[in-house]
Amino acid sequence: MPVTAMQASAYLHHLHLHSPDPDRLAAFYASAMDMTATATGADSWSVSGPSRRLLISRGPAKRLAHAAFAVRDAEGLSGLRAHAQANGLEPKAAECPMFAAGAFSTVDPDENLILFGLAKHAPSEQDGRLRAPLQHLTLASRDVKAIENFYAGKLGFGVSDRVVRENGEVTTSFMRGNHEHHNLACFYQDRQGIDHHSYEAGEWDTLRDWCDWLAEKGLQLIWGPGRHGPGNNLFIFVADPDENWIEISAEIEVIHDREVKHWPHAERTLNLWGCAIMRS
């Protein structure tokens, strides 16, 4: 029976990032995000920490090799595949070292490869490390509506909020596969690829601890601390050596049932406590 991404409880499980210097990028995440990097080939790495997982291999900066969403169980996975097929997609069998057999892939309108599967490993223990599970991916696209039509219209992600210009043009769409405000978002930019990816620290105290951790590593915050409008999450941003923006967030809104909200478009601004920042 077809089920939507929401019904399958889809959550962002891992990202496979391309990089012109995979060794450097893997070393950065191991240090900055307190993860363990394991070489899996000449130019490829598996990097993981508690509930945060990346694959890294050689390719152009700021592009995905793939993004991967895990779903709740085998019934959810087969149902989501049926839902995609019923909406005109042609899911293909996919293999990924982080997923059990039976995963499938599809390609979005910007040619991002997206995998859905069952997580092979249970979430790892914290081992005293700072909390920050991988939580959302934000795509950059010249056509936000096409991206929303694909993920919400064909795969059944829910739409939480949109940012809209006065002329009606949608510049941001926030989408979710579970009760968190967004696991997936798309910002209008004059390019395709990744805008940023985000880890959820849960509480402000933990976000503060991440600020201290990053300072000890000599990393400068490039934005924040602040609080977003859509999603209401506290945030900080740092950049990796490929200039991928990394967000660490806390207190992201939990949605059970509400109408889609439209927010007025505003260019990115310096944050001030209490102001509604439009990016998330």
Q: How far is the CB of 115 from Fe ion (least distance, A)?
A: 21
Q: How far is the CB of 136 from Fe ion (least distance, A)?
A: 6
Kindly tell me which of 34 and 247 has the beta carbon lying closer to Fe ion: 247
Q: How far is the CB of 131 from Fe ion (least distance, A)?
A: 17
Kindly tell me which of 47 and 234 has the beta carbon lying closer to Fe ion: 234
Applying CB under 5 A, the residues found at the interface with Fe ion are 198, 247, 280
Kindly tell me which of 161 and 247 has the beta carbon lying closer to Fe ion: 247
Q: Which residue is nearest to Fe ion (CB)?
A: 198
Q: How far is the CB of 137 from Fe ion (least distance, A)?
A: 9
Kindly tell me which of 66 and 279 has the beta carbon lying closer to Fe ion: 279
Q: How far is the CB of 157 from Fe ion (least distance, A)?
A: 15
Contact yes or no for 106/150 (Cβ under 8 A): no
Tell how far CA 73 is from the center of its chain.
Answer: 20
Kindly tell me which of 83 and 182 has the beta carbon lying closer to Fe ion: 182
Kindly tell me which of 19 and 280 has the beta carbon lying closer to Fe ion: 280
Contact yes or no for 235/228 (Cβ under 8 A): yes
Q: How far is the CB of 185 from Fe ion (least distance, A)?
A: 6
